[in-house]
Amino acid sequence: MDVVLEADRLGKRYGRTWALRDCSLHLPAGRIAALVGPNGAGKSTLLHLAVGLLKPDAGAVRVFGRSPYGDTEGLADIGFVAQDTPLYGDFTAAELVIAGGKLNRRWDAGLARNRLAQLGIPPDRPVGKLSGGQRAQVALALALAKRPRLLLLDEPVASLDPLARREFLQSLMGSVADAGTTVLLSSHLLADLERICDYLIVLNAAQVQLADSADDLVAGHRQLIGPRHDGGPIGGVAAIVRASHTDRQSTLLVRTDGPVTDPAWTVREVGLEDVILAYLADGSTQTSHDEWGVPA
Ligand code: ADP
């Protein structure tokens, strides 16, 4: 398995507070990975470490086998769209495409221009005067024109309305599928991520809670409903991730290591959203379903 991004006990600290701690994970090539977690979980910190904007205080991060901090050559392979898509607002999209050509070796100006034309984005208007969705599309077009092997996107759709979000994610999927680009995308909008991502990294309170393929996560978890559980072992259950109880009944979200055959339990399949929320509720940051864009 080709690994694009690898973190080994990676840590970043601000003063005495760890923004990211003991982060170990790997991202296989060709994946569209979601980086999920509540505000302050450490998502931007991980992305900034991966693109070399921050220097680790502990452990290591490698992208295509290289340490990104101070590695200007390695940066040619990485596209990064920062939060709120900062662009020089007085420049037009056409001017930004030309500027990109002067700053990047493998620049595909035609690709950027075609994308912007297809999306109907005016090339001659200052980007500061475009809508949020249009600005996000300009930032994505510029990132793709770099023809990166890894594309990192920090909350790219946070400020967009649902329709613009869907259009943005669809156009992202179309372009990366053709080029075989690996993508790591942070967001707190679980429903969007479930639709487009095949790999998942969950961060909570500076620590990795989960990092695995979406299919394996869904296949390896179940919801069990049965008589009130006293905490004893259940055949086929490796760990109880989250439990809620009434006087007589328990509802458990469990990680399985085999079939659950005890007839006392009703066994249900779970979705990716259920798994993510269960692991997040287990962490120290309390998060309501509402905050996550999931109908309560
Ligand atoms: P997320 O992207 O998941 O919202 P961040 O990576 O931005 O989280 O932040 C992780 C933690 O690090 C938060 O507690 C945040 O307050 C802190 N942090 C981030 N950047 C700085 C900074 N420049 N100075 C001090 N603390 C910071």
Indicate whether 205 and 228 sit together in one domain. Answer: no
Contacts of 85 (CB under 8 A, 6+ apart): 135, 136, 138, 139, 156
Q: What is the pLDDT of residues 151-205, one digit of tens each?
A: 999 988 877 788 878 888 888 888 788 788 999 999 877 877 888 899 999 998 8
Indicate whether 207 and 249 sit together in one domain. Answer: no
For residues 100-119, average pLDDT: 90
- 8 A C-beta contact, residue 188 and residue 291: yes
**% helix, strand, coil for the chain, step of 5:** 30, 30, 35
pLDDT of residue 52: 95
Please state, in angstroms and rounded to a whole number, the distance separating the CA atoms of residues 10 and 6. 9
Indicate whether 53 and 103 sit together in one domain. Answer: yes
Indicate whether 162 and 21 sit together in one domain. Answer: yes
Report the run of H or E that residue 288 belongs to, with start and end. Answer: none
Measured from the CA of 48, which atom of ligand 1 is nearest? 6
Indicate whether 194 and 141 sit together in one domain. Answer: yes
Q: What is the percent of the chain where pLDDT is above 90?
A: 64
Indicate whether 24 and 138 sit together in one domain. Answer: yes
pLDDT of residue 241: 93
Q: Is 44 in the pocket of ligand 1 (CB under 6 A)?
A: yes
Terminal alpha carbon distance of the chain:
39
CA of 22 to the centre of ligand 1 (A): 16
Q: Is 49 in the pocket of ligand 1 (CB under 6 A)?
A: no
pLDDT of residue 282: 59
pLDDT higher than 80, residue 265: yes
Indicate whether 184 and 76 sit together in one domain. Answer: yes
Of residues 191 and 250, more confidently modeled? 250
pLDDT higher than 80, residue 136: yes
Indicate whether 191 and 53 sit together in one domain. Answer: yes
Least confident of 12-21, 179-188, 208-217, 222-231: 179-188
pLDDT of residue 287: 36
Residue from 10, 14, 61 to probe ligand 1 pocket by mutation (most atoms less than 8 Å from CB): 14
Indicate whether 76 and 207 sit together in one domain. Answer: yes
Domain of residue 139, residue span: 3-213
Closest C-alpha to ligand 1, atom 21: 14
For residues 225-250, average pLDDT: 93
pLDDT averaged over every residue in the chain: 88
Q: What is the pLDDT of residues 26-53, one digit of tens each?
A: 999 999 999 998 889 999 999 999 999 9
Indicate whether 52 and 136 sit together in one domain. Answer: yes
For residues 117-136, average pLDDT: 89
For residues 76-104, average pLDDT: 87
Of residues 165 and 150, more confidently modeled? 150
Q: pTM here?
A: 0.88
Q: What is the pLDDT of residues 59-84, one digit of tens each?
A: 999 999 999 998 888 888 999 998 87
Residue from 13, 18, 44 to probe ligand 1 pocket by mutation (most atoms less than 8 Å from CB): 44
Q: Say whether 16 sits in a helix, a strand or coil.
A: coil
The CATH number linked to 117 is 3.40.50.300
**Which of 189, 213, 237 is a domain's end point?**
213
For residues 108-116, average pLDDT: 92
**Which of 213, 234, 261 is a domain's end point?**
213
**Which of 168, 188, 213 is a domain's end point?**
213
Indicate whether 160 and 265 sit together in one domain. Answer: no
For residues 276-296, average pLDDT: 54
Overall domain count for the chain: 2
